Amino acid sequence: MSTLQVELVAADRRVWSGEAQAVSARSTEGDLGILPGHSPLLGVLVEGEVRIDTGDGRETVTIDTGFLSVDHDRVTIVAEQVDASSLSSGATD
């Protein structure tokens, strides 16, 4: 099964990047779940939690407003501020 290449980017740094099985975030229209093979999407995110399911664990971060783009299994989550205190260390490059 293919995986998602996820990049979580804050205004002043790259917070997290790596492979994931699924990503979920809250968009203006409601909760949004991304699985591998998702069609290209550009969505506006509202304040809330972003969950990244890495297969052997789950990363949860809180973001303020931002946006998310999906194309060819590459997911980029962009937010101005990311609270990365809950991130498990080591995944950041």
Partner 1 sequence: MGAQQRVYRQRSRSVQSMKKITRAMELIAASRVLKARQRVEQTTPYARAITRAVSAVATFSDVDHPLTTERENPTRAGVLIVTSDRGLAGAYSANVLKKSEQLRELLHEDQRTFVPYLAGRKAEGYYNFRQRPYETSWSGFSDAPTFEIAKEIGERLTADFIKGADEGGVDEIHLVYTRFINMVSQEVQVVRLLPLEVVEEDVSESGADLFPLYEFEPSGPQVLDALLPKYVTSRIYNALLQAAASELAARQRAMKSATDNAEELIKTYTRLANQARQAEITQEISEIVGGASALADAK
Which residues are at the interface with partner 1 (CB under 8 A)?
A: 7, 9-14, 27-29, 32, 39-44, 65, 67, 69, 71-72, 76, 78, 80-81
| Shortest Å distance, C-beta 64 to partner 1 | 11
Nearer to partner 1, 21 or 81 (CB): 81
Letter string b/e over residues 35-69, b meaning 16 or more CB atoms within 10 A of that residue's CB: eeebeeeebebeeeebbbbbeeeebebebeebebe
| Shortest Å distance, C-beta 56 to partner 1 | 25
